Structure 1
Amino acid sequence: MAVMWLFGQALLSIFEQMTLPIVHHPAYCADLPANHRFPMDKFRAVADLIRAEGLLGSGDFYRPRPAPFEWVALAHDPVYVDQVFNAEVPQKIAREIGFPMRADIALRARCATGGSVLTGYLALEHGLACNTAGGSHHARRAHGAGFCVFNDVAVALKVLQADGAIRKALVIDLDVHQGDGTADIFSGDPDIFTFSMHSAKNYPVRKVPSHLDLALPDAMEDAAYLTALQEVLPDLLRQEAWDLVFYNAGVDPYFEDRLGRLALSRDGLKTRDRYVIETVRSLGVPLAGVLGGGYSNDIDELADRHVTLHRTALSIWEAESRSERTSVLG
């Protein structure tokens, strides 16, 4: 009995020490002019809020390495990758991206990409993990666009494929903008399925077809949005034996988002995230969450909106941990 009690206490100690893996790097936040349209400071604010709310428990962020050339070139034209790494991006492409393509912007893109690679590996190991950046889904194979330098999710999936860690994966992209870059990169890959549910009349004007696109009308609210998602997601998840799901939890479907055209409430975003994560995890499929888009002049409000992903994922993580603990000790 004493041995069993000690064994149980050791397991309890292990479970108590573990918490949801969350990935962050200080370089996620690069300097931009104060009047720039992209809210770069949100990445610092997201990390600060995660710490302040105790979502890391007694641990800390997982810190990624900057993605090396070899990783990024799995998803992007090596010529373009070289241009970014050397801060020599042609002005035409830089304008399409929307950033001054300096060395610190390149480092930020490499770190965010490395962060999504790490998030993918952590999800495979632990079942669930989240990045505090990522979801740069407008970057196509040839070049970046729409505030997206490298397509971090595409690079992560290519790295995991090349490593033999996964074969089949599903991308669930619920950012308000269509995931044209991800669709472009995986258009000929039978093992990666891209699903984008987005505003029909929003950026990009020329959309690249995903394997499944669900284009939504302007001003769609919570109930209709969630019904549309519930009508397709279960069938998608049962379509294949997925090794991994990457979830782009963009918060720009919010009704007050500066670049969104939908009308979700804060509760709607929370319900959406919980539905996606619980549905995926109920099938035992690992899920890697990335931040996605969100635009507001109020950085604190925006960070709070984004951290919905991490709060929700942690809640589900803790419920799974309690269930595992009960199973082991019961």
Structure 2
Amino acid sequence: MILLYDPALDMRFPDYGIQIPIRDRRALAVLEYLKKKIIPPMRPVHSLASAADMLSIPEGDRHISREDIARAHDANFVAALFGEGLEKELIKTYELMDEQGRFRRYSPGDAVRPLSELFTTIRAQVWGTYLACRLALAHRSKPSGVSSEPLSTNNSNPGFCYYLGGGMHHARYDSGAGFCLLNDIIIAARRLKAEGLISSIWIIDLDAHKGDGTAELASGDPCILTLSIHMALGWPLDPETLAHAVPSRAPLVASDVDIPVSKEDQASYVSRLASGLLQLEMLSGGKKPDLAIVVDGADPYEKDELPSSVDLQLPLDTCVKRDMTVFSFLRDRAIPSTWLLAGGYGDYAWEPPAHFLTKVLTP
């Protein structure tokens, strides 16, 4: 089991003049907690370069290329990102301008780095997701490669990597959205497919917000099945957003399995998730995927401080039970899995992933 972390992936928004009040030290807090617990099976990889070394990736391939991004996103959008439209796309994605064209939560005069450099860090985040997928595939008991084994096959070590980054599930086909410029999940999946390392993949999204960009990008792709369990109300499913939504586009595109949870449904959250996983299995037609990517958002946690996730407030033990339900389901079916940190806001957002990892890694 592997934990992937790189301190260079911190967005450091104030450096770019972005005044979004994110106090995100989740990765370090998770590492500190696990260190106190002294869990021998944990093998932290403290840089993306070290991960690439472990995987023997050639120097010239150690990045997310324009071609990789184009496998997921619209050609015009990709051209803008690699051209003069980059700053405009960043301002739109991070909602730094209001409808009157005035800056909002953005002070370019206070920036110590050009806004365009943020794109470099975002691409590195995507690279981390790809590497985490490769690590999960490489460290299972059986050799990596495309599998056609039945879902019932068991394996004591199916491969597991938790990446303290990634999970940018709101990025859509032709634009960023919800602070997500690129959809690292789909970009990584499509690169793995192009390299012949997988033929099918499950994406299991546990974030409080619907994985709408992922659903849009995966729609019609027979190699990808998606599950999203999320707030029944709240962004991107709030009335204001839905009023401007276009049919067949995010957020209206359905995941293969959608589980909207209302305030009244929270007591049945875990059982509904378990049923959804069985539905995902049924949709696979009796064959297990080569990999599962789990978008392990902590924002359903009752101590999360993001106002837009207030309609989903799970106790810590339920958050851990949620993750263990998915972990056990995949382990019992010998499905390698990559877990992404995804959403989680405030001083306590580190607690769900830290307690989950402790439970997984404690003998």
Pairwise CA distance, 1:244: 1.1
Partner of 2:321: 271
Q: Give the secondary-structure state (helix, strand or coil) at the position aligned to 2:45.
A: coil
Q: In the alignment, residue 254 of structure 2 is paired with which amino acid?
A: P
Q: 2:140 aligned with 1:117, yes or no? A: no
Partner of 1:17: none
Partner of 1:288: 338
More helix by share: 1
Question: Equivalents in 2 of 1:209, 1:235: separation in Å?
Answer: 15
Match of 2:214 among 182, 202, 227: 182
Question: Equivalents in 2 of 1:42, 1:82: separation in Å?
Answer: 33
244 and 62 in structure 1: CA distance in 2 versus 1, 3 angstrom threshold: farther
Partner of 1:25: 6
265 and 239 in structure 1: CA distance in 2 versus 1, 3 angstrom threshold: same
Of the structure 1 ranges 23-32 and 242-251, higher mean CA displacement relative to structure 2 is found in: 23-32
What are the Cα deviations for residues 11-32 of structure 1, in whole angstroms up to 9, with x where unaligned?
Answer: xxxxxxxxx2111222221212
> Is the 1:249–1:291 contact (alpha carbons within 8 Å) kept by the matching residues of 2?
yes
Partner of 1:141: 173
Partner of 1:237: 281
Partner of 1:200: 232
- TM-score normalised to the size of structure 1? 0.80
Q: 2:355 aligned with 1:308, yes or no? A: yes
> Is the 2:301–2:316 contact (alpha carbons within 8 Å) kept by the matching residues of 1?
yes
Match of 1:152 among 178, 181, 184: 184
Question: Equivalents in 2 of 1:83, 1:41: separation in Å?
Answer: 31
Q: 2:254 aligned with 1:209, yes or no? A: yes
Q: 2:160 aligned with 1:128, yes or no? A: yes
> Is the 2:330–2:336 contact (alpha carbons within 8 Å) kept by the matching residues of 1?
yes
Q: Give the secondary-structure state (helix, strand or coil) at the position aligned to 1:289.
A: strand
Q: Give the secondary-structure state (helix, strand or coil) at the position aligned to 2:350.
A: helix
Q: In the alignment, residue 9 of structure 2 is paired with which amino acid?
A: Y
Partner of 2:147: none
Partner of 2:303: 256
CA RMSD of aligned residues (A): 2.6
> Is the 1:87–1:103 contact (alpha carbons within 8 Å) kept by the matching residues of 2?
no
Partner of 1:42: 26
Q: Give the secondary-structure state (helix, strand or coil) at the position aligned to 1:275.
A: helix
Question: Equivalents in 2 of 1:312, 1:106: separation in Å?
Answer: 35
Number of aligned residue pairs: give it: 293
> Is the 2:5–2:44 contact (alpha carbons within 8 Å) kept by the matching residues of 1?
no
Q: In the alignment, residue 12 of structure 2 is paired with which amino acid?
A: D
46 and 82 in structure 1: CA distance in 2 versus 1, 3 angstrom threshold: farther
> Is the 1:29–1:43 contact (alpha carbons within 8 Å) kept by the matching residues of 2?
no
Of the structure 1 ranges 276-285 and 63-72, higher mean CA displacement relative to structure 2 is found in: 63-72
What are the Cα deviations for residues 137-168 of structure 1, in whole angstroms up to 9, with x where unaligned?
Answer: 00012121111121111111101111111111
Pairwise CA distance, 1:218: 2.5
What are the Cα deviations for residues 224-243 of structure 1, in whole angstroms up to 9, with x where unaligned?
Answer: 11111122212322432211
Partner of 1:16: none
> Is the 2:93–2:180 contact (alpha carbons within 8 Å) kept by the matching residues of 1?
no
Partner of 2:120: 107
> Is the 1:220–1:262 contact (alpha carbons within 8 Å) kept by the matching residues of 2?
no
> Is the 1:22–1:61 contact (alpha carbons within 8 Å) kept by the matching residues of 2?
yes
Runs of 5+ consecutive residues of structure 1 not aligned to the other structure: 1-19, 319-330
Partner of 1:324: none
Question: Equivalents in 1 of 2:45, 2:32: separation in Å?
Answer: 11
110 and 179 in structure 1: CA distance in 2 versus 1, 3 angstrom threshold: same
Partner of 2:47: 63
Q: Give the secondary-structure state (helix, strand or coil) at the position aligned to 1:307.
A: helix
263 and 219 in structure 1: CA distance in 2 versus 1, 3 angstrom threshold: farther
> Is the 1:42–1:303 contact (alpha carbons within 8 Å) kept by the matching residues of 2?
yes
What are the Cα deviations for residues 10-53 of structure 1, in whole angstroms up to 9, with x where unaligned?
Answer: xxxxxxxxxx2111222221212395243444344444545554
- TM-score normalised to the size of structure 2? 0.73
> Is the 2:81–2:89 contact (alpha carbons within 8 Å) kept by the matching residues of 1?
no
Question: Equivalents in 2 of 1:58, 1:128: separation in Å?
Answer: 11
Q: In the alignment, residue 266 of structure 1 is paired with which amino acid?
A: L
